[in-house]
Amino acid sequence: MAPTPRPWRWIPPLTLPGDWQMAIDDWLLDELVAGRSGPVLRLYRWSRPTLSLGWHQRSLQPHWADLPAEAGIELVRRPSGGRAVLHAGCLTYALLWPDPPASRPLAYRQACAWLREAFAVLGQPLLLGTAAANGQRSSCFATSTAADLVHAGGAKRVGSAQLWRRGRLLQHGSLLLDPPETLWRQVFGQPPPLLPRCRCRIRSSKRCCSERRSPTWWKVS
């Protein structure tokens, strides 16, 4: 008889510095690989604006080294791949999956299905990106591959990246809510994606849902 699958574990949102968030996700993946944990989904925010770099990203913009002192933007390196992501005005998810499909494109599609369902309920259906991966671009949100979710007009809402370890999967994703244009221009030299206005039914008297704000290893030296 096949073993009963473990239920998904939901970790309540945490707001912490970027190096702590990355260390937690890497530890959770180790626990998954060791068989001490089942599947996990967690959402979190960053305690200060942070630029996270993909694990294999080595070509960095020269001015990024000055961001902590000049703009108060922390730099960290993610255990997952992909390009640089500015974490400000966004929500990050980490999904840890013990038995993902072997096909990475299929794993991306299935791991993002819950996001597509949620945005469809909010009246903002999302599509999978279609562009080819481009290692020359420094920003994750400068292109939209099959790992990403975009609006019908092409604006990228969610960028995702993966780390596979002994057949187990950690998928990171950044969901843009209200990205600050000033910081985006400082980091990438261009404004953030022009996202459609929220038409969701979850509204307070003044603000819609998208406007509500609620260790050293990973630091970039």
- Of the listed ranges 67-76, 126-135, 159-168, 177-186, the least confidently predicted one is 126-135
Q: What is the pLDDT of residues 150-159, one digit of tens each?
A: 999 999 999 9
Read off the pLDDT of each residue in 66-83 and give the average, rounded to a whole number.
96
Q: Is residue 211 part of a domain?
A: no
**Catalytic residue list contains 198:** no
Closest CA to 193 of 90, 78, 75: 90
CATH number of the domain at 81, please: 3.30.930.10
For the cut 70, the answer to whether the pLDDT of residue 39 exceeds it is: yes
Residue 90 lies in a domain: yes
DSSP-assigned letter for residue 62: G
Which pLDDT does position 203 carry in this prediction?
43
Count of the separate structural domains present in the chain: 1
Across 136-160, average pLDDT: 91
pLDDT tens-place string over residues 5-21? 779 999 999 999 999 99
93 membership: H or E segment, kind and range: strand 90-97
Mean pLDDT of 23-43: 97
What is the residue type of 47? S
Q: Is 35 domain-assigned?
A: yes
Tell me which H or E stretch contains 183: helix 181-188
Token pair 């707001």: residue = 15
Question: Would you place residue 206 in the very low, low, confident or very high pLDDT band (cuts 50, 70, 90)?
Answer: very low
Any domain includes 209: no
Of the residues 112, 140, 200, 208, only one is catalytic, namely 140
Tell whether 204 is covered by a domain: no
Structural domain containing residue 27 = 11-196
- Residue 9 amino acid letter: R
Question: Per the domain annotation, does 83 fall within a domain?
Answer: yes
How big is the CA angle at 92 (ends 129 and 94), to the nearest 5 degrees? 90
Any bridge partners for residue 41, and if so which?
10, 95
Q: What is the pLDDT of residues 170-188, one digit of tens each?
A: 999 999 999 999 999 999 9
- For 186, the 3-state DSSP assignment is helix
More confident residue, 208 or 192: 192
- Reduced to 3 states (helix: H, G, I; strand: E, B; else coil), residue 188 is helix
Residue 5 domain flag = no
96 within domain boundaries: yes
Please state the rounded mean pLDDT for residues 147-172: 96
